[in-house]
């Protein structure tokens, strides 16, 4: 790990500078939070699991021409990344209704959406990450119209890849959250992580049981138990599929 003092500590990661400018070290933590950090806990080995899954997925996306902040993974819970200025918008892609979509629209849990839904939330903990309209996003100058178009296109491309990838893991990708950043050339890169913390993942083999099928952070949010086991299960399947590709 870097001996430099940390630049930033978030809910799931600590960011350190490195000896190379424009390269940062992200150390993934076992700490878990939910409901805007009102619920806190620890998921054993989450840092290793989420860093490993994210690293594999970022590598696969890069192979398919999608630019990410990923450089390499010097330790199982550490990722070297390109420094970016994070666009303060959480991009959520949904294939199946769950979570806040059900709460806010009344759509029943599990409704298959006719086409993927891309939503933008204001990345602002103090305001509780509210859902944005396009006009509000531009009013707050969170991104330009060109950036929103690029991000939407990338989010849909990433969704196509991830849906297919997780199907090979015998997992249904319900929804997920992405974050993007701008590098020094103002290029948009996929940033943050893609893991059971940021995706809803349902086990196809247990698809009829709404509690047993959950392989993601909803096990922690809803106190469903066996959280560590679910995260390990996702990692094992991801590693098996990646090895076969």
The residues of the shown chain that bind ligand UDP, judged by CB under 6 A, are: 90, 92, 98-101, 129, 175-177, 198-200, 217
- Nearest to ligand UDP of 125, 229 (CB atom): 125
Smallest distance from ligand UDP to CB 125, Å = 9
- Nearest to ligand UDP of 2, 200 (CB atom): 200
In this structure, the number of other CB atoms found within 10 A of the CB of residue 174 comes to 25
Q: What is the DSSP letter of 125?
A: G
Q: Vertex 154, ends 149 and 156: CA angle to 5°?
A: 100
Asked whether the beta carbons of 181 and 84 are under 8 A apart, the reply is yes
Asked whether the beta carbons of 153 and 60 are under 8 A apart, the reply is no
Smallest distance from ligand UDP to CB 201, Å = 8
Phi-psi region of 52 (alpha: psi -120 to 50; beta: other; left: phi over 0): alpha
- Nearest to ligand UDP of 2, 14 (CB atom): 14
Written as six digits, the tokens of 163 are 């849906």
Smallest distance from ligand UDP to CB 185, Å = 27
Smallest distance from ligand UDP to CB 199, Å = 5
Smallest distance from ligand UDP to CB 244, Å = 26
- Nearest to ligand UDP of 100, 226 (CB atom): 100
Smallest distance from ligand UDP to CB 179, Å = 9
- Nearest to ligand UDP of 2, 201 (CB atom): 201
- Nearest to ligand UDP of 2, 137 (CB atom): 137
Quote the CA–CA distance of 191 and 185 in Å, as a whole number. 15
Q: Vertex 240, ends 155 and 232: CA angle to 5°?
A: 80
Picking from 45, 53, 47, 44, the residue whose alpha carbon sits closest to that of residue 238 is: 53
- CB-closest chain residue to ligand UDP: 99
């Amino acid at each position: 790990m870097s001996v430099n003092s940390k630049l930033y500590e978030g809910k799931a990661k600590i960011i350190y500078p490195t000896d190379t400018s424009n390269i940062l070290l992200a150390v993934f933590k076992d700490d878990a939070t939910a409901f805007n950090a009102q619920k806190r806990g620890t998921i054993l080995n989450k840092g290793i699991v989420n860093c490993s899954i994210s690293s594999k997925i970022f590598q696969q996306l890069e192979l398919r021409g999608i630019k990410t902040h990923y450089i390499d993974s010097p330790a199982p819970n550490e990722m070297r990344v390109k420094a970016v200025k994070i666009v303060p918008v959480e991009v959520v892609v949904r294939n199946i209704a769950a979570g806040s979509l059900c709460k806010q629209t009344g759509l029943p849990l599990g409704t298959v959406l006719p086409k993927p839904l891309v939503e933008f939330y204001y990345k602002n903990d103090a305001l509780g990450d509210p859902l944005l309209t396009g006009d509000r996003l531009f009013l707050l100058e969170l991104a330009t119209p060109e950036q929103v178009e690029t991000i939407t296109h990338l989010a849909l491309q990433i969704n196509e890849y991830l849906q297919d990838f997780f199907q090979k893991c015998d997992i249904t990708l319900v929804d997920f959250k992405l974050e993007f950043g701008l590098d020094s050339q103002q290029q948009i890169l996929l940033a943050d992580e893609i893991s059971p913390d940021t995706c809803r993942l349902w086990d196809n083999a247990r698809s009829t049981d709404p509690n047993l099928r959950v392989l993601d952070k909803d096990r922690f949010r809803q106190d469903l138990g066996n959280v560590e086991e679910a995260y390990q299960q996702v990692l094992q399947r991801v590693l098996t599929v990646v090895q076969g590709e």
